Amino acid sequence: MDSRYDTMKYRRSGKSGLLLPEISLGLWHNFGGVDIYENYREILLTAFDKGITHFDLANNYGPPPGSAEENFGKILKKDLRSYRDELIISSKAGYRMWPGPYGEWGSRKYLISSCDQSLKRMKLDYVDIFYSHRPDPRTPLEETMGALDSIVRQGKAIYVGLSNYDPEQTRQATAILKELGTPCLIHQPKYSMLVRDPENGLLDVLKEKGIGCIPFSPLAQGLLTHKYLNGIPEDSRAAKSTGFLQKEEVTPETIQKIQKLNEVAQRRGQTLAQMAISWLLKDPRITSVLIGASRTSQLLDSLEALKNKEYSNEELVQIEQILNL
């Protein structure tokens, strides 16, 4: 589709030369071996046709772990191989992937082995971005960052990133990477209207160091959608406690907040989910917002957020008042 780049806007990742779409697609859920191939293939191809060029994975995405990368590799080979140079593909390592002492965290052994495995699963020569998925309290930061640097120098990745590092860890890690000659491109934190930890120093560090930011879980695992406006649905992950959102997190106070936020969204002509995405994009320090999708209609609904990213001072004050209830 020649028109795929006509409507999507792209933002520079920090001070780098790389542009990313304002919305990127994450394969954390819904792309594993337990999911339906034709469904997630349609989601991926629709995303690319809409100008989403960045697809974000990790070694353990599934379930089972590794299957999201395998499935992505199949679609890449069948449908997107000729577009490889138009795509930004990222993967990560840090969480438990295989048994034994070398299957998680941040050792050089684990990161390089994991990157090799990810490339084999996706049938790629390189990824565009490779992340340290979480800091390792028992491995020297110099070793973890040195492994990322080696991965780039070996031609297995073009850029490197960090995920789930706090402000001081980020400051230290990026200083090491800069000295090694492989500067940090981007940071992937958990960030939404309901989880605002990056505002406590991280976003300032990223701006100071010229590093991009791509928040994950912008909808707070579904809380910032219509799904929980009237409580916990019986078929939801929270009700079954099968996902990362637990039943005890959906308190009456939280439901009251999202109901009031939904009223603001309706006045703006948006769904609650669309407002949650555009609220993040109002900040120029944000490069892209990482969304998930279980069906194509969900993806298309999220893309509608890009049509209204402007907020009046009155709206921002209203939102802050609601979030501080």
Which residues of the chain have a pLDDT value below 50? Answer: none
Q: How much is the pLDDT for 233?
A: 66
The DSSP annotation for 75-136 comes to: HIIIIIGGGGGG-EEEEEE-S--SSSTTSSSS-HHHHHHHHHHHHHHHT-S-EEEEEE-S--
Count of domains for the chain: 1
> What does the pLDDT look like over 46-62, one tens digit per residue?
999 999 999 999 999 99
Any domain includes 201: yes
Any domain includes 227: no
Q: How much is the pLDDT for 2?
A: 72
Any domain includes 74: yes
Any domain includes 273: no
Q: How much is the pLDDT for 101?
A: 96
Any domain includes 266: no
Closest CA to 21 of 29, 13, 33, 30: 13
Question: In terms of residue numbers, what domain contains 296?
Answer: 10-220+280-309
Any domain includes 228: no
Any domain includes 135: yes
Question: Residue 213 is part of a domain; what is its CATH number?
Answer: 3.20.20.100
Any domain includes 237: no
